[in-house]
């Protein structure tokens, strides 16, 4: 299918104004297809001109434009030409559409727990025409009237309040003007919990088999929802305008959530079936608040074109963390950002695919998707924090209010947003935006101290800008130091030159641990001095500032990836500091990085068993002394379950015997154990099927696929590869879980033949897998055989000119991680 270009979008929006959509969906036609009838009214600024409407149908039954019939055969490559338009037009299209199984369009999934089907719409970027005929670009917004026919035992939810007018027939209240990609319908035998706040009807919904976790978590979900509403109403000065507010937890969702006005969709893994750590609850709360902030920034005001996607995501990323800190119990949300979101963003910044936060002109819709990453989210949010430091918080909020008011129900651009901030603050943002928004990459911050008898003689902050992407970024941040747990220095500074003297540190004691950007206020590579790195084993656990500890761990992760920190040093610090960690985000995320990234990527294969044993010992030690049922206990148990080689322990836990307190009926925890057993060849496919029988759910089926793919024998690998890359009808989630297990192997020989096959078989999947889903499969399925031959094949594939944009971008990012691993092993392999 052709991807809409920026030039085409500008031409069409200059010609057409869409006034309304009436969409009639018939979801009662079986499991494969649904009926779609669209009536769209629009005006044409130049009567007699030609245009087109977007339509990706299984078949088209009838088309009429202003009462005259059009030939369905005219639909070519997803477009229906519209010729000789009148000043006022009505287009009516009746078509049959196909349900998707890759998380895009109208996705239909069967829950094996009860064999009931669920449908949800995810129309992001360019999937709307697979549901209804539309002018699919973000600046042609219009109100919607939607009618849905569904099986009698289904309920229907959507952007407008749903009312049932007859058996199986539902009408959704007319919406405010929406961009095409925000229209959604969720339908199925969903179960619901409802509430109300400040005159806004609220609902949370999930599959029937998730009734228990939905009801168990509903109170907390509503609490975060209500607090976020109150906070954003006060901050923006504009009331939520989209009527009811539903949050639907849907199966097989590609992202974390989607901000459809009035009907937000979430991945249903957020309804934790078993035990959840505090940081998992924080992540969910952040997602709830993030999507709500989009109701203003994204939904009320939508970007004009996809190259301003950052206006949506950076703003929501910043506002959700701000809201959690100011209005909820999750006051450590910025700590979580440091060790989760910014680590993700720094990874995107290290890749050759790095790009500026804004100003990258997306020449077509699909290329815009390639900039939908940790830079758009985490770097953009950090950039907004620097903007606030530059202009002042009151001035920033005043500018945001003016922008939202002026552009309500319309579209905005980077220029519009900056103009509003400039007017409110009285500051020219030209040079600031050039440095922070329009230039890729990041600076490196370090502090050089000259010591005189244990006293700081001089202290200088060094700001190094990348030579190939020079920028003059001002950084507002702090430098702090600790010795044996006591804070001995803290200086706030604004750095606007390559060297800045910190006179406030002079004459004070030299800290054992000296940390630039200690409060993580800016976006930069933090370079720790040699004395600090050497002292981390003894000093880090004593630092009482959890935000600073997160910055240290982030710097260590960044250094391992950049081949400036020996993975051995990382593991030494892990041994010493991780078991004493008290912040849940640091505790769980650092353990995950150590187990799933540092050891398998950066430690040579011959040393990995010993490295995993170190992690297991740390987990066991924490598990033995942690209070049962706490985050510490759960994090430790998960680490032990994933790293232990104690067959007796693993078998007993898999059988439900001797489990840590709180995990007795936790099916998700059992699957961690089973995957460990499977990867070691200590269970077979029949055993996995038996465990699946105990957890006959959608998630249980996915975990079983991952475990089968992990089995260390040729037959299992051949089966998994066919299920992954053959046209076997696997869903987006099934493909990702197969890929997650596939490269688990006791040695490279077992999977070596699949390295070359990956570079032919996986890109070819673009013929039947949507770009959004395939981009994830490409990353997860990338070979975990870290050799020069893999790098050679990877480079050859990236150079091909027949790759889709999503496949190419994911290959570039995966290739960058491979080369990081090779560089680290070359630098430190012998030492490890």
Known catalytic residues are 291
Please state, in angstroms and rounded to a whole number, the distance separating the CA atoms of residues 181 and 125.
6
Torsion angle of the four alpha carbons 548, 551, 556, 561, in this order, in degrees rounded to the nearest 10: 180
192, 460, 629, 683, 707 from 703: Cα distances, Å:
26, 52, 24, 14, 6
The b-or-e profile of 514-534 (16+ CB within 10 A means b, else e) is: bbbbbbbbbbbbbbbbeebbe
Please state, in angstroms and rounded to a whole number, the distance separating the CA atoms of residues 241 and 551.
39
| Residues in CB range of 327: below 8 A, 6 or more apart | 227, 228, 230, 231
Provide the CA 23 distance to its chain's centre, in angstroms: 30
Specify the pairing of strand 144-149 against strand 16-26.
parallel
Closest Cα partner for 552 from 541, 562, 563? 541
Please state, in angstroms and rounded to a whole number, the distance separating the CA atoms of residues 693 and 417.
54
Closest Cα partner for 590 from 630, 625, 550? 550
Cβ contact 15:49 at 8 Å = yes
Which residue do the tokens 């809409």 mark?
A: 4
* Other Cβ atoms closer than 10 A to 804: 18
**Nearest 5°: phi and psi at 479?**
-120, 130
- For the beta sheet containing 475-483, the strands, ordered from the edge strand earlier in sequence to the opposite edge, are 486-495, 475-483, 513-516
Please state, in angstroms and rounded to a whole number, the distance separating the CA atoms of residues 612 and 455.
41
367, 745, 755 from 750: Cα distances, Å:
36, 7, 11
Please state, in angstroms and rounded to a whole number, the distance separating the CA atoms of residues 240 and 674.
46
Element (H, E) at 620: helix 605-625
DSSP state of 801: S
In order, the DSSP letters of 805-831 are HHHHHHHHHHHHHHHHHHHHHHHHTTT
**24, burial (CB in 10 Å: exposed 0-12, middle 13-18, buried 19+):** middle
Please state, in angstroms and rounded to a whole number, the distance separating the CA atoms of residues 177 and 144.
7
| Residues in CB range of 68: below 8 A, 6 or more apart | none
Please state, in angstroms and rounded to a whole number, the distance separating the CA atoms of residues 250 and 254.
10
Closest Cα partner for 735 from 718, 715, 721? 721
In order, the DSSP letters of 547-610 are HHHHHHHHHHHHHHHTTSS-HHHHHHHHHHHGGG---HHHHHHHHHHIIIIIIIIIS-HHHHHH
């Amino acid at each position: 299918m052709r991807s809409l270009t920026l030039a085409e979008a500008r031409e069409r929006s200059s010609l057409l104004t869409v006034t309304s959509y009436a969409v009639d969906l018939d979801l009662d036609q079986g499991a494969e297809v649904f009926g779609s009838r669209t009536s769209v009214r629009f005006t044409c600024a130049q009567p007699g001109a030609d245009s087109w409407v977007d339509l990706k149908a299984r078949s088209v039954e009838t088309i009429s434009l202003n009462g005259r019939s059009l030939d369905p055969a005219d639909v070519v490559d997803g477009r229906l030409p519209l010729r000789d338009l009148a000043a006022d037009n009505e287009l009516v299209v009746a078509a049959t559409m196909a349900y998707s199984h890759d998380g895009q369009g109208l996705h239909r999934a069967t829950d094996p727990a009860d064999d009931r089907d669920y449908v949800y719409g995810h129309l992001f970027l360019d999937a709307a025409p697979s549901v209804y005929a539309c002018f699919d670009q973000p600046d042609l917004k219009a109100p919607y009237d939607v009618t849905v026919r569904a099986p009698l035992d289904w309920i229907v939810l959507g952007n407008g309040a749903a009312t049932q007018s007859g058996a199986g027939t539902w009408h959704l209240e007319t919406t405010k003007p929406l961009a095409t990609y925000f229209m959604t319908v969720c339908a199925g035998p969903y179960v619901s919990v409802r509430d109300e706040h400040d005159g806004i009807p609220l609902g949370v919904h999930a599959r029937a088999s998730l009734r228990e976790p939905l009801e168990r978590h509903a109170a907390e979900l509503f609490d975060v929802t209500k607090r976020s509403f109150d906070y954003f109403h006060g901050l923006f000065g504009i009331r939520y305008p989209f009527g009811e507010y539903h949050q639907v937890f849907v199966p097989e969702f590609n992202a974390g959530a989607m901000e459809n006005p009035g009907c937000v969709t979430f991945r249903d893994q957020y309804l934790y079936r078993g035990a959840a750590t505090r940081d998992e609850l924080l992540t969910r709360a952040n997602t709830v608040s993030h999507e709500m902030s989009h109701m203003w920034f994204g939904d009320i005001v939508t970007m004009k074109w996809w190259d301003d996607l950052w206006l949506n995501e950076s703003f929501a990323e910043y506002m959700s963390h701000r809201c959690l800190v100011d209005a909820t119990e999750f006051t450590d949300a910025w700590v979580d950002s440091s060790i989760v979101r910014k680590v993700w963003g720094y990874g995107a910044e290290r890749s050759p695919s790095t790009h500026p936060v804004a100003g990258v002109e997306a020449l077509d819709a699909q290329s815009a998707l390639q900039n939908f990453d940790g830079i758009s989210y985490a770097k953009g949010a950090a950039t907004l924090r620097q903007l606030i430091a530059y202009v002042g918080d009151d001035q920033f909020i005043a500018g945001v209010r003016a922008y939202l008011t002026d552009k309500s129900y319309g579209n905005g651009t980077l220029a519009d947003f900056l103009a509003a901030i400039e007017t409110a603050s009285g500051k020219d943002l030209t040079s600031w935006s050039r440095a922070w928004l329009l230039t890729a990459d990041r600076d490196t911050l370090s502090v050089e101290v000259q010591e005189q008898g244990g006293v700081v003689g001089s202290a200088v902050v060094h700001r190094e800008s990348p030579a190939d992407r020079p920028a003059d970024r001002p950084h507002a941040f702090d430098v702090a130091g600790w010795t044996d747990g006591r804070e001995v220095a803290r200086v706030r500074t604004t750095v606007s030159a390559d060297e800045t003297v910190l006179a406030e540190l002079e004459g004070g004691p030299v800290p054992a641990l000296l940390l630039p950007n200690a409060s993580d206020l800016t976006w930069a590579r933090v370079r720790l001095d040699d004395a600090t790195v050497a002292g981390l084993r003894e000093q880090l656990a004593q630092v009482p500032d959890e935000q600073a500890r997160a910055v240290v761990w982030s710097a260590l992760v960044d250094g391992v990836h950049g081949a400036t920190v020996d993975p051995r040093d990382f593991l030494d610090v892990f041994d010493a500091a991780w078991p004493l960690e008290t912040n849940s985000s640091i505790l769980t995320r650092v353990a995950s990085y150590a187990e799933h990234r540092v050891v398998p990527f950066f430690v040579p294969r011959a040393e990995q068993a010993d490295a995993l044993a170190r992690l297991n010992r740390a987990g066991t030690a924490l598990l033995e002394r942690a209070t049962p049922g706490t985050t510490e206990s759960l994090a430790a148990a998960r680490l032990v379950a994933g790293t232990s080689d104690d067959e007796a322990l693993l078998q007993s836990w898999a059988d439900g015997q001797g489990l840590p307190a709180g995990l007795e009926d936790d099916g998700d925890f059992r699957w961690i154990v089973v995957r460990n057993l499977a990867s070691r060849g200590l269970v077979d496919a029949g055993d996995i099927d038996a465990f699946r029988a105990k957890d006959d759910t959608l998630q249980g089926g996915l975990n079983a696929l991952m475990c089968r793919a992990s089995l260390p024998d040729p037959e299992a690998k051949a089966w998994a590869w066919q299920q992954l890359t053959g046209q076997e009808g696997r869903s987006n989630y099934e493909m990702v879980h197969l890929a997650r297990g596939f490269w688990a192997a006791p040695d490279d020989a077992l999977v070596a033949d699949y390295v070359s096959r990956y570079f032919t078989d996986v890109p070819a999947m673009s013929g039947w897998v949507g770009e959004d889903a395939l981009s994830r499969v490409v990353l997860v399925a990338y070979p975990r055989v870290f050799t020069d031959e893999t790098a050679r094949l990877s480079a050859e594939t990236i150079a091909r000119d027949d790759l889709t944009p999503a496949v190419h971008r994911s290959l570039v990012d995966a290739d960058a991680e491979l080369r990081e691993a090779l560089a680290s092993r070359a630098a430190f392999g012998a030492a490890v």
